[in-house]
A and B are shown apart, each in its own frame.
Chain A
Amino acid sequence: MSALNNDTEQKKNEAKQAGEIFLQELSRKPSNNNSFFSKLWSAIQIPFLAILSGLFLGALIIIFTSPDVYEAFGKGLGTGFKAVFSVVGNAYGALFAGAFGSPSKIMEALRTGEKIDRVFKPISQSLVETTPYLLSGLALALGFRAGIFNVGGEGQIYVGGTAAAFVGFAFADLPRAIHLPLSVLVGIIAGGIWGFIPGWLKAKTGSHEVINTIMLNYIALRLVEFLLTGPMTKIGSGGMPISNPVQESARIPLIFKKPLTLHYGFFFALIMAVLIWFFLFKTKWGFNLQMAGANKHAAKYAGLNIGIWTVLGMTISGALNGLCGANQVLGVTYTMGLGVSAGYGFDSIALALLANNNPLGCILSALLFGLLRTGSRNMMSNTGIPLDIVSIVQAFILMFIAAPAIIRTVYHLRAKKVQAPTAVNVSGWGGNR
């Protein structure tokens, strides 16, 4: 009885709060004392400081785990501090050079006109790496907007990639204009199905999508492992989980010539970002989707069928991840293997939250993640610092983004009226009883 009262009370309160916020928004005076730059700063200060702090803590870890630094401190305080700066400088310098290419060489190549493809290789590689991050980040962002926490990115990427690879190698002699779109489409559909399942389960039975998507990740992994060692395996691979290579006609064409691996998938992903932004913020469906995610009770009151929007949000989210898998298989690896996702499905949680779940913001944060990932390879081969430092930095960034109070305390920022936090409630794992 009391629980019931509480429930209705809560609903009432929520409705009241929604009303109050709405009134405040209506009666708020347009503030014209804010210049464009201060507005911009207030919008980006938390993400910016989070990235900066993440990189700083990453540097601390590099310092504390570097044997050189300890050795130098053994010699004297001065040499010690010098070593600290040189270790961090070398590491982040190599990271930068690996991500963008070295500026001096680029200038030189542009002047002399030689080795142009080689100096642009790092930035091209970074953009190639940005693409899956962007697609998977869009999936997460759309999910969050719809009130869904899609942790199933990995599984959806696997399923999408496998489906795309199957269509990619099974049909020979198709023209590219049919073969490539077909492969991509099948990948999208497979990912969509893998997203539909937890969405439907959530709408129908109330079971929480986080557990369901984690379970589906493992089911997808086993399924793909079975397919890749059995029916789809590369002939003569000796039981290795790897598929036949996709036909030439199903590969996403490269934009430049061979050493530059940038393919049209990157631009496709950019278009997707704009499309998703348009869908979310400029169409009625997108509005409904967000309303269902932001406040269930208000949305129900407005006559929305929450279940349908949950299923739709989850399906689109899965489809985007499927697209991410298809993009990797058809544009980068040309064959499906178990290493097709370098943790994109999980990293994109941080990515989407960093972008405040804005599809256009996702472009920037995906670029950051792509640059970090590519640069870290160069850092590893040049300075011996493992590329896993990037994961650590990403974890810190996610932490600071999720808990802006830490950033505010550290940098003595004024607490501002905060936007409603990404409202994905975690009350209980499931069951509608």
Chain B
Amino acid sequence: MMKTKPVYLKHAVSPRDRIMGFVFLILGLFVLLVFNKNFSSETITTFAMTPGGISRGVMTDWLIQTNRTLWICGILLFLIGIYQFIFGFGHRSNLILVLVSLIFVFSFIVYVAANKMLNLAGLLASALAMAVPIILGGFCGILCERAGVVNIAIEGMMLMGAMLGSVVGSATKNIWFGLAAAMLGGGILALVHAWLSIKYKINQIVSGTVINIFSTGMTSYISSMYLQDFPNLNKTPRFPSVAIPGLADIPFIGPIIFDNSLFVYGMFLLLILLQFGLFKTRWGLRLRAVGEHPKAADTLGINVFKTRYMAVILGGLLAGFAGAYFSLGSVGRFDEGMTSGKGFIGLAAMIFGNWIPFRTMLAGILFGFADSLSSSVSILGSSIPGQFINMLPYLVTIIVLAGVVGSSSGPAASGTPYEKE
């Protein structure tokens, strides 16, 4: 028997929609009752709109009334929640989810920075900077998994890239040699991963673990054997920030996006290349075919092994590039374990972004934002500890993976070795 659905509903409201609506309601109430406690109408939140130390693209500070803003945000969330609970936004609910998250985060910042000043532009700029290795790691994961090889060794490849980049960059006093060495290091580890998991068909997670353990050990070994005794081997020049003429003068956006080092521009370039390459070219179609149904791809004359080798090695070069960001792009030296799990978070961004480069970038920026928000919150001194904000990306990944919010489904053959018959 078919369930009859009320005429005024264009689509059925699933239990998931109800849960989401309920959560939105709670968030709205949270903003109204917890954030908006005892601010008088004179309370002002000040956002600085130019990152520190920047003279181009200056924008005046943005002053907003804390009390009124929180009321507006809270009521907005509440209304969205009610609509979602009763009617549901249907296929647009993921978009609404993003909107709700943005409003909620905005009210949180307004609440934290009440009576104080928060550098909004600086927050976003550092979010982008922190997101770069996560996003590049995610791209590495996409390349490998779209071709059917699970890669949890991104972390290890990054670490090796960071170390080699610093050492070669310091020894030759040339950042480009450093970058090349970093990418080569990532590529060689990727070759080993490919060799173990494609030729020897060992469990790809075990193979990734081998590389992670080896890489952590090797970089720490070199670091304590040489880098501490010869500090000159660990003092590399860094890639400078290059302001793009014209674009960098746009207020607010200019200094955040168009005044960065090679790594940020490289990331955007790779995004375009990958998004186009994977979905609009023959190369991408073949790669995805190998990851989805290797047997069919083989029958059509695609060399499965070669494609997988190529994808994993390209991914390794990318991970090496991401690793170079830490030493050549950020601090100018190598520290033990300096990637601090960014490779694994990149993997999470990949899943969150549903194995699509553009969405992975958005997820990476979200994760980077959580990082930078937690550090500015702890500077401002809020009642919510920074660690809990730091936890959010991981929690969100688990929730996304469980299929509560949106769907995540990777390439079908990802993780299974291919046996040619």
Footprint of B on A, CB under 8 Å? 3, 61, 65, 149, 151, 201, 204-208, 210-212, 214-216, 218-219, 222-223, 225-226, 230, 343, 346-347, 349-350, 353, 384-386, 388-392, 394-396, 398-399, 402-403, 405-406, 421-422, 424-433
Contacts and interface: CB of A to CB of B under 8 A. Distances in A.
Contacts of B222: 65
Interface in B180-238: 196, 200, 202-207, 209-214, 216-218, 220-226
A405 B224 contact: no
A330 B375 CA distance: 33
Interface stretch (B65-73, B112-120, B395-403): B395-403
A402 B195 CA distance: 13
A430 B210 CA distance: 23
Closest 4 CB pairs of A and B: A391-B217, A426-B415, A395-B214, A226-B387
Given A219-B391, A219-B394, A403 B217 contact: no
A402 B403 contact: no
Interface of B: 150, 152, 196, 200, 202-207, 209-214, 216-218, 220-226, 341, 344-345, 347-348, 351, 385, 387-388, 390-391, 394-395, 397-398, 401-404, 407-416
A390 B214 CA distance: 10
A149 B210 contact: no
B129 to A, nearest CB: 20
Nearest to B224: A386
30 contacts: A65-B222, A65-B226, A151-B209, A201-B402, A210-B205, A211-B351, A211-B397, A211-B401, A219-B395, A222-B391, A223-B391, A349-B206, A386-B224, A388-B224, A391-B220, A392-B217, A392-B221, A394-B217, A395-B210, A398-B206, A399-B210, A402-B196, A425-B415, A428-B410, A428-B411, A429-B401, A429-B410, A431-B403, A431-B409, A433-B403
B348 A215 contact: yes
B403 A205 contact: yes
A223 B387 contact: yes
A425 to B, nearest CB: 7
A50 to B, nearest CB: 12
Contacts of B220: 386, 388, 391
A178 B373 CA distance: 44
Contact of B394 (A206, A218, A385, A386): A218
Contacts of A431: 401, 403, 407-409
Contacts of B344: 214, 218
A151 to B, nearest CB: 8
Given A201-B398, A201-B401, A211-B401, 14 more contacts: A215-B397, A218-B344, A222-B387, A222-B390, A222-B391, A349-B209, A386-B225, A395-B210, A395-B213, A398-B210, A399-B207, A402-B210, A421-B202, A432-B403
